[in-house]
Structure 1
């Protein structure tokens, strides 16, 4: 099989390091050096069976597919493929597998850290001490044992977060109308999730039907001293509503790794409210963590070459409910 690396070249060595490339090139003949989508020519694509890519992938439109008549598989070493796949690529039977599960691991690790820290009221004490320049007075923090953690969505990241939480003495509940629930997670309605959780962690995809989903009513319904954590997409939250409710309810706290817009506008109240902390989109894979993505793509290629099923294949039907 013939292959070609096409992606953002600044990210290429992060995703596809020497070990990952060696594993990929056990199955692929890669005659040309990596290129960006903008540098592609029809001659480069003519004999390509497998496209190896990630961030900066080309769009699989009719013109691209006409130039790559042999293309059968796309290894997308990043998360969402929405900007890459097209009706034409589905119609021509081009298969796509993606590394969203590898990114989900990194996000879930970050979410777990924030959830456990929130149950100890860690950030609250940090900000209080910084504001008062004094030892923060202890409050009625719960800690992990017996606390209730709510997850909005059990996609790849939500499910991985639930798996990590299973090692701790917390009750895990989730809302997801499309998911199959493991025995360790209780299924609840959206309103119950917000009203009964000590921490609510958002993991839903940003779709037209989820934009602004977390608004005044859900936020005001949250338990006393509850924390909202968002490592998914900023647009899931009505940010105006969040600012208003955080101002009304100083007992609530928010940890936002994503915002809308991102970054927040200069002077945003998110930087000055005493009960919110904003981190600069740290939850996803950073630096060498991205090698997980390249490794996953190498494993998928090995399965494909052996005629086995792909574990992380993206289908047109599944894409409708994913990020």
Structure 2
């Protein structure tokens, strides 16, 4: 077996790989760890999304593994050190789903700023909350604060500019005079300044020890009481319970959480019936077009790696 694919992949990309290699495509393998270990015994490549844990224990069952393709960009489910030690190349789909995430963030911002789109049940039942729901905001003229300024944030910055948003961003990895700021029409700010000034805060950082719990109760208190928080990066970056508490207390204007510290999210009482909260199941980077781009990108990259001389 040349390639094992343990999670969903776009079928045309799978077929393209089958034309060149022997392929085991079984999206259910992620939930059958013993079968996955067995499948990897002779495999040269593994393709995953975000649920398959590519760690030291799994690598011990994959002595021939040369490459791991990641159908996405986050690498917190792939242990980089053990992969490097074994000479396993890790290939994320950098940039392939950036537009999908950027559009999700803007869509959530529009919904939460206007605040009028949760009224279907009330209106259908004969209520008419026109006065209460007529105080929403247009996003033109508001300030978008981006925490992290990689590819997704840069695409988002460009889109936001067309809607009349001013864009501030915080990224300690970029120098204040880096040309990327001007090229993507964003102004660099320290994190505390950004949180204090932004009307909409969107997170675009990996989950690292330094970013775990980055947005906690203390940082939420730094934000404007009508600000909107959007997290499409990794769940552990945000304290979910603190967000829910801030929304219930009226100390935050709205929030959209697409990612969670534990996924799939178990039944969570602290996130139920929270006002102005949008929850989605880690799908910001998923769209028909993005799935096609991501799958094609990874299929081609894995194929090149397997064909390259050892």
Shift of residue 41, structure 1, vs aligned partner: 7.5
CA contact 1:271–1:278 (8 Å) conserved in 2: no
> What does 1:312-323 correspond to in 2, within 5 Å?
none
Cα gap change, 1:150/1:81 in structure 2, threshold over 3 Å: closer, same or farther? Answer: closer
TM-score by length of 2: 0.76
The alignment of Structure 1 onto Structure 2 pairs a total of residues equal to 292
| Residues 86, 241 of structure 1: alpha-carbon distance in 2 compared, 3 angstrom cutoff | closer
Q: Secondary structure at the match of 2:130?
A: coil
**Which segment is superposed worse, 190-199 or 36-45?**
36-45
Match of 2:169 in 1: 174
Closer, same or farther: CA 82–235 of 1 in aligned 2, 3 Å: closer
Inter-CA distance 275–73: structure 2 relative to 1 (3 Å threshold): closer
* Deviation of the 1:40 alpha carbon: 5.8
1:90 and 2:91 matched: no
Cα deviation, residue 304, structure 1: 4.9
CA shift for structure 1 position 198: 1.3
Q: CA–CA distance in 1 between the matches of 2:120 and 2:195?
A: 25
| Residue correspondence of structure 1 range 150-161 to structure 2 within 5 A | 150-161=145-156
Contact 2:199 2:228 in 1 (8 A): yes
Q: Deviations over 1:76-103 (max 9, x none)?
A: 3244344344534312432221125334
CA shift, 1:283, in A, is 1.9
Q: What TM-score results when the alignment is normalised by the length of structure 1?
A: 0.73
Q: Do the aligned residues in 2 keep the contact of 1:215 with 1:238 (CA within 8 Å)?
A: yes
Alpha-carbon distance in 2 for matches of 1:124, 1:250: 20
Equivalent of residue 21 in structure 1, options 14, 21, 36 = 14
Alignment CA distance shift 1:124-1:224 (3 Å): farther
Q: 2:34 aligns to what?
A: 38
1:229 corresponds in structure 2 to 230
Structure-2 change in CA distance of 1:63 and 1:216 (3 Å): closer
Match of 1:143 in 2: 138
Question: Against the structure 1 CA distance between its residues 277 and 89, is the aligned structure 2 distance closer, same or farther, given a 3 Å change threshold?
Answer: closer
CA distance in 1, matches of 2:194, 2:240: 19
Cα pair 1:5 1:34 within 8 Å, conserved: yes
Tell me the residue number matched to 1:320: none
Q: Which residue of 1 aligns with 2:193?
A: 192
Cα root mean square deviation, aligned: 3.6
Residue 266 of structure 1: CA displacement?
4.3
List gaps (5 residues or longer) in structure 1. 308-323
Cα distance, 1:44 vs structure 2: 7.0
Match of 1:267 in 2: 269
Following superposition, the deviation at residue 139 of structure 1 comes to: 5.0
Range with greater deviation from structure 2 (210-219 or 275-284): 275-284
Does residue 110 in structure 1 map to residue 104 in structure 2? yes
Q: Say if 2:298 is the partner of 1:297.
A: yes
Deviations 1:245-298 (A, max 9, x none): 333336622223334555364432x32233333334432426775333211113
Q: Work out whether residues 224 and 252 of structure 2, in 8 Å CA contact, stay in contact via their aligned partners in 1.
A: no
Distance 1:38 1:168, change over 3 A: same
Q: Secondary structure at the match of 2:181?
A: coil
The Cα offsets for residues 53-75 of structure 1, whole Å up to 9 and x where unpaired, read as: 1133654666345x31xx44332
Aligned to 1:318: none
Specify every segment of 5 or more residues in structure 2 that has no aligned partner in the other structure, as ranges: none
Indicate the residue corresponding to 1:80 in structure 2: 74
Mark the CA change 1:105 to 1:3 in structure 2 (over 3 Å): closer, same or farther. Answer: farther
Corresponding residue number in structure 1 for 2:60 = 63
Secondary structure of residue in 2 paired with 1:101: coil
Preserved contact between residue 80 and residue 100 of structure 1 (Cα < 8 Å): no
User: Against the structure 1 CA distance between its residues 223 and 76, is the aligned structure 2 distance closer, same or farther, given a 3 Å change threshold?
Assistant: closer
Distance 2:86 2:130 in 1: 62
